[in-house]
Chain A
Amino acid sequence: MIRQLFKFREMLLVIIIAILLAVFSARSPGFAAPGNLANIFNDTSILIILALGQMTVILTKSIDLSVAANVAFTGMAVGMLNAAHPELPLVLIVIVALCIGAVLGAINGIFVWKLNIPSIVVTLGTLTIYRGMAFVLSGGAWVNAHQMTAPFLQTPRQLFLGLPILGWTAIVIVAVMYLVMSRTFLGRAIYASGGNPTAAVYAGIDVGRTRFFAFVISGTLAGLCGYLWVSRYAVAYVDIAAGFELDTVAACVIGGISTLGGIGSVAGAVLGALFLGVIKNALPVINISPFAQMAISGSVIIAAVIFNARQERRRGRIILRDRGASEQIEVAA
């Protein structure tokens, strides 16, 4: 029954995205052409990867507001590394990015796991600290395109079967995350520790440690995106991806991932990100000021939250939720 609902939810998003594409291509022929669709997907790749990290954290009943700051710090670090040591192979730089991201994520995770501090407070703090560290690291200087090596800049742009490597990276991450969430113990533990932490403990799951690993996953993906972002925009500065953490939360909410934890799917997060990507790319096409994008995504988030709440309420929440009893009272009141 739950699985059917999820399918319904994701089908609905697919249909909405398809309708959007149809409407936009009616206004501007060629919007839905395969080449442009590949462009949109490529443009949304970073958001997709970050949304998957955010999804992992939200599923465990936490939130990671430091992802964008993580992107900025890691991006700056690998940008400077590349500029200072052009001889280092790209593989090494990507590994460094993954490691820095993982460490930053682990710092968040340690606070949540060992000290039991609410994730919103921890990541609110590390959000300013990580971005500040990016400033300390660079002294406020930019790393520009001419300082970066050709492989560093060009590899994500290489076309493979019509799609740049950047897009393929997102596809690979989506596949890996799907396997992790649906086929591994960690994936089940992540769902369990968000769906019902008390029951998860009785089932032998260490909820704190599961949250720690969720933060490490989110941090690692953010580290990867740090490299991808700097390479894609060919510049590294302190303010890159400022405010992007909210876009990742928005993608998750639109994708039907419950902020109460335990409910959501990889497909939902991907579709939520694609929805935002399509709108972002369509605005210039249909002659709406890019300044309107913020208000539109805000409205979409609110609409999605209202829609999610309806869906969750329609289900028998008493079975699934520790707050079920209070819900009943609310209905009665």
Chain B
Amino acid sequence: MSAIPEKRLIPDRLGTSATRLFGSWEALLFAVAVLIFIANSLASPYFLNAWNLSDATFNFTEKAMVAFAMALLIISGEIDLSVAAIIALASTAMGAAAQAGIGTPGLVAIGIGVGVGCGVVNGILVAGLRLPSIVVTIGTMSLFRGIAYIVLGDKAYGGYPASFAYFGQGYVFWVFSFEFVLFAVLAILFAVLLHATNFGRRVHAIGNNEFAARFSGIRVERIKFTLFLLTGLMSGIAAVCLTSRLGSTRPSIAQGWELEIVTMVVLGGVSILGGAGTIGGVVIAAFVMGLVTFGLGLLNVPGIVMSIFIGLLLIVTITLPVIIRQFRHRKPA
């Protein structure tokens, strides 16, 4: 578990007064997204343009792919802070392979393979050796990105084959990019996996009460291992998209993304303590973050100032329901 493993006895936000007040977290978040959308279109005349909006999706599609898998992991009570480092390592491996003249299918296979391999390493350490995931993945984060630095140093890989550019720059039809379509397909797949399969129920059960889950015959370690593998896989896919979009690899690629991805998941209403959350929430959170950064970008706000907004968004959305709950609890007393 994370650094705050105080197990709750009752599931989080299943019919608390605050969630009843807003209908649901997702409804609140959706309202926020609509507000930001309206504010953006009022603030900048360039916002309401199909191609601009299509460009805006690149702000979040790659992060969101990883965020889906991360959501499952956080619901199960674990966390993976090494995702951005996995992207960097997978991208470096693809860069090295491209230098060696390997074609596009091979590059994709290598990128995804490295991602899965890194996920397996995390899975063995956390599920196999039963180590706390937050520290382990801080370690593997340094290790994976460190290997990328050893390979690349201060240099960069480029020279990817022309056909490789499709994954990050291609369009399936009209303004819908390959990345956006992939994002949509993965969102549906993960929503089905989490909300309509035994596996998803088990993930929720482990997050709510690992002890009880074990007594119910759930193979906790196996599921956790699968989740880490899945997170590695998604990081590998994100690495393919990102590398293809940028067309080059530096060891500092995707630096700091782990924080943005966790922010996206938590903003989407997934409880950081585990046991509660939906993929729908994460999808809306991805749009909210994408719209905020894109809208601010159109207004010429520097990236680091945007990160203040993301940080505030994270803290405000987490604290607001807590404050409301405390307020409502105090009133009768």
A131:B304 contact, CB within 8 angstroms: yes
The answer to whether residues A124 and B318 also contact, given A132-B307, A302-B143, A309-B131 and a CB cut-off of 8 A, is no
Q: Of A250, A302, A323, which one neighbours B140 at CB under 8 angstroms?
A: A302
Contact of B131 among A122, A135, A197, A306 (CB under 8 A): A306
Cβ–Cβ contact B129 & A309, under 8 A: yes
Give the chain B neighbours of A58 by CB distance below 8 A. Answer: 3
> Is B322 within 8 A of A125, CB to CB?
no
Please report which residues of chain A, range 267-305, place their CB below 8 angstroms from some CB of chain B when the two chains form the complex: 289, 291-299, 301-302, 305
- Tell me whether B308 and A305 are in contact (CB under 8 A): no
List, in ascending order, chain B residues with CB within 8 A of A61's CB.
3-6
Interface 1/0s, chain A 96-124, versus B by CB < 8 A?
A: 00000000000000010001111111101
Instruction: Please state if B150 and A295 are interface contacts (CB–CB under 8 Å).
Output: yes
Task: Pick the contact of A63: B3, B140, B146 (CB < 8 A).
Answer: B3
B203-222: CB near A (< 8 Å → 1, else 0) gives: 00000001100110000000
Given known A120-B4, A135-B305, contact A125–B312 (CB-CB < 8 A): yes
Residues of B within 8 A of A289 (CB): 150, 153
Set of chain A residues within 8 Å of B326, measured between Cβ atoms:
115
Interface SS of A by simple majority: helix
Q: Are B305 and A136 in contact (CB under 8 A)?
A: yes
Interface size on A, residues (CB 8 A): 55
A128 and B210: CB pair below 8 A? no
Q: Is A88 part of the binding interface, using a Cβ–Cβ cutoff of 8 Å?
A: no
Q: Which A residues are CB-close (under 8 A) to B141? A: 246, 298
Within the complex, the shortest CB–CB distance from B254 to chain A, in Å, comes to: 14
With a cutoff of 8 Å between Cβ atoms, the chain B residues found around residue A63 in the complex are: 3-4, 134
Compute how far the CA of A161 lies from the CA of B322 in the bound complex, rounded to whole angstroms: 54
- Beyond A302-B140, A305-B131, A330-B130, is A62–B3 a contact (Cβ under 8 Å)? yes
Q: Mark A16-52, 1 if CB is under 8 A from B, else 0.
A: 0000000000000000000000000000000000000
Q: A residues engaging B (CB < 8 A)?
A: 58, 61-63, 111, 115-122, 124-129, 131-133, 135-136, 140, 197, 238, 246, 249-250, 253, 259-261, 289, 291-299, 301-302, 305-306, 309, 323, 325-326, 329-330, 333
14 A-B residue pairs with Cβ-Cβ distance under 8 Å, sorted by A, are A62-B3, A117-B318, A118-B4, A119-B3, A135-B304, A253-B135, A259-B134, A291-B154, A294-B142, A295-B147, A296-B146, A297-B146, A301-B139, A306-B131
Residues of B within 8 A of A (CB): 2-7, 79, 125, 129-132, 134-136, 138-147, 149-150, 152-154, 210-211, 214-215, 251, 259, 262-263, 266, 272-273, 302, 304-305, 307-308, 310-312, 314-315, 318-319, 322-323, 326
